[in-house]
A = this chain, B = another copy of it.
Amino acid sequence: MDAQIPSQILTERSLRSSIQESGLRATRPRLEILKLLADRRGHLSAEQLRILLAKEGVPLSRASIYNVLRDLAQVGLIGPASAGPGPALYEYAGTPHHHFVCVHCGSVIDVPCRQPGRPCTLDEIPPGLQVTETQIIFRGLCAGCAEDSGLGPEVGAS
C-alpha cells in the first residue's frame, strides 16, 4: 500500500496538509476519500466510494462517507459533479468545468469551460433573477459507445 507511489504530486502528505489548512482534522476517512477522488480524477458516488474503499481495506459506514463528503465539499476541497438524475457524484475540486454524460454507458467526461460562471447564454436570463452559478450538462454518445452502436458519423451504418 505504500511501496508504490502514484505518479502525481498529490501525495498523502500534501492532501493531509490541505485538509488541515482548511480547518478540518486530518482523519483516515477524510484522507482516504480525498486521495481516491484526487487519484482517479473521477466522478464517484458515495456508494462507489464505499465499495472502492472497502476493497482497499478501509471499510467505512455509509454515514461516515456522507459526513466526509459533506465536510470536504463545505471547505471546497471536493465538489459535486452534477450529472443529472441519480446518485450525487463528487470530484476533486480543480478548474471549473462542465460535464458530458454518455446516455449509453453513463460515463462522465469533463468539458473545459472557457468563461467559468458566465456562459454566453447569460444575456437571455429574464430580468430579476440573480444567477450565481451556471451548470451545463452535455448529453450524447461518448467515442466508445458511438463506435460500438454504429451510430458514429463516420460509420454511417443504418
Interface residues of A (CB under 8 A from B): 80, 82, 84-85, 88, 98, 100, 103, 109, 111-114, 119-121, 124-126, 128-143, 146, 151-153
Q: Per a CB cutoff under 8 Å, which of B112, B124, B125, B139 touches A131? A: B139
Q: How far is the CB of A120 from chain B (nearest CB, A)?
A: 4
Residues of B within 8 A of A138 (CB): 125, 129, 131, 133-135
CA distance A146 to B103 in the complex (A): 36
Whether the Cβ atoms of B125 and A100 lie closer than 8 Å is yes
Q: List 24 A-B contacts (CB under 8 A).
A: A82-B84, A82-B85, A82-B137, A84-B135, A111-B124, A112-B124, A114-B124, A119-B136, A121-B136, A129-B138, A129-B143, A130-B140, A130-B146, A130-B151, A131-B138, A131-B140, A132-B140, A133-B138, A133-B140, A134-B137, A134-B138, A135-B136, A135-B137, A135-B139
